[in-house]
């Protein structure tokens, strides 16, 4: 899970990008902001997902060749059963979707993995989504076919060969569902990395967004507090990074029950990382006065 420092860093970056003094509404900036901030993490997640899919697909070609051969025989057998035409249609649909699956997987394998983080994250995300979409359609068609066989006991034995091939291919799809949504399968230890990566990205965004909303909702009182300790205070006169840090730390001291020492130390570290060479001293001085004047902790 993301650390408090990581969350604070994301909040400062968002407040800086949002530029609350006449800038765009914070809500409108959230998607592009998070696409930018998490692009490196999303790239790593997409590559890890691809590698897991690649591993699962090992041996699929052999199962597919078997299915194609048995499908030809099954289709011929079904020609004598007009009342089972829907099974024939499902087999034909499966063959088309299996071809589409192979095409989508080949496209995924050809994607460059050494481009910049943003393009890799987007390209792999789109290609994986396309593969998962085809696979879901396949799973639904296979299920319908296997259930439909049960209505024709006299045919069931003749179609067992192709049904066995369908089930073998479906086992790959069952694993792909777990890869697509690893959070739904906590018992699968081999998917822990994917599960944890997705959860960390989602949790960082959730907690940072909540903290941003809290700072924005208290912006007026926060600025009023800052004005009492900063001579001739005006938000526009303070460096945007310092302004974001001061607002976050002031909110934490006054409204979040954060120990003043913790809030001030964290603000100093943020100022050292994101601000100018003098930012940490300025931030320390302002917050120290706020803590002494307003804090009850």
The helix or strand, by DSSP H or E, that contains position 80, with its residue range, turns out to be: none
Each residue's pLDDT tens digit, 145-168: 999 999 999 999 999 999 999 999
pLDDT tier, 24 (very low <50, low <70, confident <90, very high otherwise): low
Q: Tokens standing for 59? A: 């041996």
pLDDT tier, 295 (very low <50, low <70, confident <90, very high otherwise): low
- Residue ranges in 150-259 assigned as alpha helix (H): 153-156, 160-180, 192-217, 219-229, 240-255
With H, G, I as helix, E, B as strand and everything else as coil, classify residue 152: coil
For residues 237-243, give the mean pLDDT. 90
Fold of domain 4-35+200-294 = N-utilizing Substance Protein B Homolog; Chain A (1.10.940)
For the purposes of burial, counting CB atoms within 10 Å of the CB of 40, is it exposed (0-12), middle (13-18) or buried (19 or more)?
A: middle
CA atoms within 13 A on the CB side of 185: 16
**Phi (first) and psi of residue 186, to 5 degrees:** -65, -20
Nearby residues of 213 by Cβ (< 8 Å), 6 or more positions away? none
Model pTM above 0.85: no
Specify the pLDDT at position 250: 95
For residues 71-93, give the mean pLDDT. 95
8 Å CB contact between 270 and 211: no
Each residue's pLDDT tens digit, 101-145: 999 999 999 999 888 888 898 999 999 999 999 999 999 999 999
């Amino acid at each position: 899970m993301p650390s408090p420092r990581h969350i604070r860093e994301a909040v400062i970056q968002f407040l800086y990008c949002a530029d609350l003094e006449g800038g765009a509404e914070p809500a409108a900036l959230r998607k592009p902001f998070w696409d930018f901030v998490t692009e490196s993490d999303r790239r790593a997640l997409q590559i890890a997902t691809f590698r897991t899919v690649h591993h699962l697909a090992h041996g699929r070609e052999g199962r597919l060749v078997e299915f194609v051969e048995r499908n030809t025989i099954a289709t011929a057998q079904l020609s004598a059963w007009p009342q089972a035409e829907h099974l024939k249609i499902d087999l034909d649909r499966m063959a088309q979707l299996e071809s589409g699956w192979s095409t989508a997987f080949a496209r995924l394998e050809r994607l460059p993995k050494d481009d910049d983080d943003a393009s890799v994250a987007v390209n792999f995300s789109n290609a994986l989504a396309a593969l998962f979409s085809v696979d879901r359609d396949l799973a639904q068609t296979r299920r319908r076919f296997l259930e439909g066989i049960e209505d024709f006991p006299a045919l069931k034995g003749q179609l067992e060969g192709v049904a066995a091939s369908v089930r073998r291919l479906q086992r790959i799809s069952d694993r792909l569902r777990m890869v697509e949504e690893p959070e739904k399968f906590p018992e699968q230890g081999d998917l822990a990395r994917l599960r944890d990566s997705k959860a960390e990205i989602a949790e960082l965004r959730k907690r940072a967004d909540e903290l941003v909303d809290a700072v924005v909702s208290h912006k007026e009182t926060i600025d009023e507090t800052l004005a009492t300790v900063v001579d001739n205070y005006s938000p526009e006169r303070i460096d945007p990074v310092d302004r974001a840090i001061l607002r976050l730390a002031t909110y934490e001291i006054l409204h979040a029950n954060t120990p003043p020492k913790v809030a001030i130390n964290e603000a100093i570290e943020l100022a050292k990382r994101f601000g100018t060479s003098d930012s940490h001293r300025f931030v320390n001085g302002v917050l120290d006065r706020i803590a002494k004047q307003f804090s009850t902790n």
